[in-house]
Amino acid sequence: MAGLAISSVRADYMGQPLAGQLPSRYEQVETLDSWEQAPPYAESELNSYSAVDSRTQACYQLMVMNSQCIVNHAATREGLNHQIRYLEKYPGYRKFAAKGIHLSGQQLLATAAGVLRWLDSSESLSDRFELLNLSQYADSKAKFTGYYTPEIAASRHYSAEYPFPVYRLPDDEQQYLSRDAINRGALAGRGLELAWVKDPVDLFYIHMQGSGVLLFEDGERKVLQYAGSNGLPFKSIASYMQRKGYLKGDLSRRAITAWFQQHPETLGEVFAANPRYVFFRLSDEMASAASGMKLIPGHTVAVDTRFIPFGAVLLAEVPRVDAQGNVLNYEWRLLFPQDRGNAIKGKSRLDFYTGTGELARRWANRVTGLRRAYLLLDKQQAYVQTASRIDP
């Protein structure tokens, strides 16, 4: 049973088409925080319309905008407090992000604390902060993608409805088997199954994200926590499908899923193109970011810490969506560099965390693109010559 070959999957085992882009964050080893303490605001943020629209005259001009133009939820203040506590662990003279925004801990800490006070003031943005443009592009925008924590239906037992195993980490050399070997049943019968799932495509994307949430038939939720991998390199199945001529132009998850629904016999072949395989453990605790801070939906971003330091405060224009994934407006948000990802490279590259589940997936899909983004620096701190100010 456990060795059911992926290549034999029937079309009726496949999930419904999923709109959007390929997730951009891969297999990160994460620290943990309590599931019970997981922020409740992710879904409410997605379902409630914000009065802040960055396209309005008052909020479009960065030099005159004030804190009323910034999304200011409990999550915003929680994230700022996380940044402050993180920076307080380091001496003020320590320098961060030597290849990019080369700031000291003192500068970062003063800025985070200043932003927290600014949220309760009527000061204009430019009166209090320098805005350092993160962009390396001609249009002065940074490249955004979105990531989220996938949820997937699961069972504790194998059945025709739930035929695909989620494995814990083997304690022997079989840990290093390829994805193809494991999908063909190399680990079957060893009691390594943590759960069984319906959809191999959903499971593959949980492997890519490095974490997920299992929703069992009795209503229980369990977090899939990264436990290790087979040590083989990650290879893009989208690139493989493009080379094979399976996909042309659109390389999104929607296109990949649609192809598999029409050609389920290619699943084994395509998945084998990515030899890397991820193993999990079950937990009741939600994952934290690479910095050790709790992921804050709508505010945490993954960055390349060679250029942008953990503890910094960013300001960016982010699309807001409704439950169907339609863009309602654009709003200015404070973003907190707290995470990193293997695909996030350069000073203009940001990966925006949207939360857990279907609504979070839709929001993450809409973030992808080029958007205005700046690093804030309290004006009482020395100006950094390696960064570029925006024009008024």
Domain locations in the chain as residue ranges: 6-35+151-284, 41-147+289-389
Asked whether residue 117 carries a pLDDT value surpassing 50, the answer given is: yes
Of 24-28, 84-88, 226-230, 240-244, give the lowest mean pLDDT range.
Answer: 24-28
Arithmetic mean of pLDDT, 237-255: 88
Residues of the chain with pLDDT > 70, as a percent, come to: 81
Q: Under a CB-based contact definition with an 8 Å cutoff, are residues 306 and 337 in contact?
A: no
Residue 280: Cβ-neighbour burial (10 angstroms; 0-12, 13-18, 19+): buried
Asked whether residue 167 carries a pLDDT value surpassing 90, the answer given is: yes
- CATH (residue range 41-147+289-389): 2.40.40.10
Asked whether residue 123 carries a pLDDT value surpassing 80, the answer given is: yes
Q: In degrees rounded to 5, what are phi and psi of residue 213?
A: -125, 130
Same fold, 6-35+151-284 and 41-147+289-389: no
Asked whether residue 333 carries a pLDDT value surpassing 70, the answer given is: yes
Helices 237-244 & 253-262 angle (0-180, nearest 10): 60
Is CATH 2.40.240.50 the classification given to domain 6-35+151-284?
yes
Q: Under a CB-based contact definition with an 8 Å cutoff, are residues 74 and 119 in contact?
A: no
* End-to-end CA, the chain: 65
- pLDDT category, 194, cuts 50, 70, 90? very high
Helices (H), the chain: 41-47, 57-60, 74-87, 105-118, 125-128, 179-183, 200-209, 237-244, 253-262, 267-272, 358-367
Of 117-131, 247-261, 319-333, give the lowest mean pLDDT range.
Answer: 319-333
Tell me the one-letter amino acid at 286.
Answer: M
